[in-house]
Structure 1
């Protein structure tokens, strides 16, 4: 009987493996850059042509290789990074499998030139589609140059799946950016095309300097710093400000122990931190570095090493969400007079109305002017952890002027003109008060006259059972009845009229889907956001000057005064510089003649 099972030829096996490791030219760039960094390179040069399909060349000044190692690196699973399985638990290098070089050589015209410092001459190796063509001695400096030409030329089916050269170039350059961010102490040079203009990112002493050289000084200055620590975990990086987002995740960069990674968990934790600071459909800009004990992660879960698995995913999730939330809450809390802002104002107002200026004769009817004590004395400046030194405080020199469109408060500040959305601002104030009251247990628990019974699927019920003690501390007392049923016995006093059935159902589903330990916080926050939206002042609700002052004071006492709970901006500012630019006055020393 004829055999049906056979061992694949080595060349065919390498080409099959290349389909996992080398998806496109960007994959080649990633592997070669990581090899250069693992070799200790302080300078790396990248040259490409045709979006990487025609040429990819990476040169470095790393440790280089001798003749034997230069030949051995072409063998599959030959590596200097691992000796035993246990080494995976203390891995500090980018590469470790020994697959990249042989698989790249199997699908291209491959040239390797390298020399160790101790060797008098270097070694040059040529390979064509996995077949060794020549090995010779050559003169060169210490380091390694790898040249990859005609990628997938021997595999037309693979080559047809590549995008246009310009599109492939975008993917390729992202890999260069990731490597450059991960290793700011290394100089990177890049040139595309035979006559292309080169780009240089010099070695930087700080991560901020490297980010500024890549994206520009304005890009990094517009971000907020973020920091977080847990036992065995350290998070640092930069985030976009509340309310500012992009339609894609292209400007999100994650690094775990300096390794660029793609992580759904980290991305969703980041988005969770912005849940009430950014409109749905938008994504924040972020550069996050996570340092963790290598024994607590598994980098061997993806053929291209793009992903890592965390042993304690919930702990990492919680760290990211908490750190992001603290960074976005840039304004420290300040005690203000106790009376709460009115729950609703029913008096209707005309489209535009004004407030009297302090110390200036009213320019409208005297009966519209507020009493002298209505405008509070200037509040002491608050500088939150994310506020740039020297930047304008939006409350400095604040003076309400009037209302535009029966919705937007016009406020003169030390920096220009501020427009405040009165509905969004009041939403933020009520939301933080209600959330704080719930989390602190203020108001106590109120037993329900008729307990509410909620029946859940088995998976959701099991997840909810684990969190019942936490919910009890928040004022929500539930008892398990068996068969997936729960009885809601007591609720937070301030939320006694809430429909608790959909709340519990949504909460349990979130917990069961492993969206992280913040599922409770997310469910309660969404609920509170809906409540305050209905209770906050609306457009056309006319506010007195005293109410405007109180609203502004309360808003800027919030942890995150920049957005409403739904992520919409609460205020925007037109700076004097922007106004001068728009009126053509910027840089005009003489102004407009006699008009000034």
Structure 2
């Protein structure tokens, strides 16, 4: 059983009272604030056999990074970034399979200069990038102009992070492997778009995330194989408190 540490007793747990069930409007220093449907969690079309996530009740938020929940088998700490990442990945995969629109047009194009090797890499991946929701064009002086992005990114993107993402998606090791590339690309887009640690969530947002995580096909791992949650069984907790 995992040992419970009290080294960081000051992190605090946000209690799950209904008074806090409104929509978050504070920024917390993130690229965009949360608002209605802020988690970009919609219906998950095509999900016919969701994973067997137990029925969980939200207790609160730990260190603005983990959702504390309880179920019939004990306590579950849910990594909010990993959980959101899994939800967004399956949402994009389902949309692509259904040939549903996944792009969001930008009001103002995002532009930045490219190194010569980046120009060549983007040209090689242009059709693949467009397939997953990007609309982009290489202008004079090796300037990349992006006019649309996958819709899950719309609230999280800035020029620097978008440049980093494009560079990763067009890295040489992914040339010539379209299926593997798409899996890698969607996983990285989901990772960029997902909320991060140290981000306050309201009770209603936490409940929504747990509900939608339960509708995914693989609720216990993120896109990169990390666990979305850690389980502390009742028997393990009883041992920690000397009850067994």
TM-score bucket (shorter structure):
0.5 to 0.7
Query: Matches of 1:438 and 1:452 in 2, distance apart?
Result: 27
Aligned equivalent of 1:569, options 227, 230, 233: 227
Q: 2:199 aligns with which of 538, 544, 550?
A: 538
Is 2:88 the counterpart of 1:431? yes
- Larger RCO (alpha carbons 8 Å, 6+ apart): 2
Whether 1:526 aligns to 2:188 is yes
Q: 2:118 aligns with which of 430, 446, 460?
A: 460
Q: 2-side partners of 1:557 and 1:550: how far apart?
A: 11
Q: Which has the larger radius of gyration?
A: 1
Q: In structure 2, what is the Cα distance between the partners aligned to 1:455 and 1:352?
A: 44
Q: In 2, distance between residues paired with 1:404 and 1:483?
A: 48
Give CA-to-partner distance per residue, 1:474-526, whole Å, 9 cap, x none.
Answer: 22223344775544344345545633565356534663532453456545543
Per-residue deviation, residues 6-52 of structure 1 (Å, max 9, x unmatched): xxxxxxxxxxxxxxxxxxxxxxxxxxxxxxxxxxxxxxxxxxxxxxx
State the distance in 2 between where 1:445 and 1:475 align. 8
| 5+ long unaligned stretches in structure 1 | 1-349, 356-366, 371-381, 385-392, 586-596
Residue 402 of structure 1 corresponds to 59
Aligned partners of 2:215 and 2:100: how far apart in 1? Answer: 21
Alpha carbons of structure 1 residues 441 and 483: separation in structure 2 relative to 1, 3 Å: farther
Given that 2:59 and 2:69 are in contact with CA atoms closer than 8 Å, whether structure 1 keeps it comes out as yes
The normalised TM-score by structure 2 is: 0.54
Mapping 1:379-390, distance limit 5 Å: none
The one-character-per-residue Cα deviations of 1:570-595 (angstroms, maximum 9, x if unpaired) are: 3222335646776675xxxxxxxxxx
State how far apart, in whole Å, the 1-side matches of 2:14 and 2:104 are.
44
Contact 1:431/1:565 (<8 A) preserved: no
In structure 2, the residue matched to 1:560 is: 218
Which of 71, 74, 86 aligns to 1:417? It is 74
How does 1:289-438 map onto structure 2 within 5 Å? 351=13, 353=15, 393-395=52-54, 398=55, 400=57, 402-403=59-60, 405=62, 407-413=66-72, 416-421=73-78, 423-424=80-81, 427-428=84-85, 431-432=88-89, 435-436=92-93
Cα displacement string for residues 328-361 of structure 1 (whole angstroms, at most 9, x for unaligned residues):
xxxxxxxxxxxxxxxxxxxxxx747468xxxxxx
TM-score (norm 1): 0.26
Alpha-carbon deviation of 1:566?
7.1
CA RMSD between the two structures: 4.5
For 1:354 and 1:475, the matched residues in 2 are separated by 37
Aligned length: 196
SS across alignment from 1:467 = helix
| CA spacing shift, 1:512–1:353, aligned 2, 3 Å | closer
User: Which of 134, 137, 142 is equivalent to 1:476?
Assistant: 134
2:173 paired with 1:514: yes
Residue 417 of structure 1 and its aligned partner are, at CA, apart by 0.6
- Cα contact 1:425–1:551 (8 A) shared by 2: no
Query: Alpha-carbon deviation of 1:411?
Result: 0.9
Structure 2: segments with no counterpart, 5+ residues: 1-11, 22-48
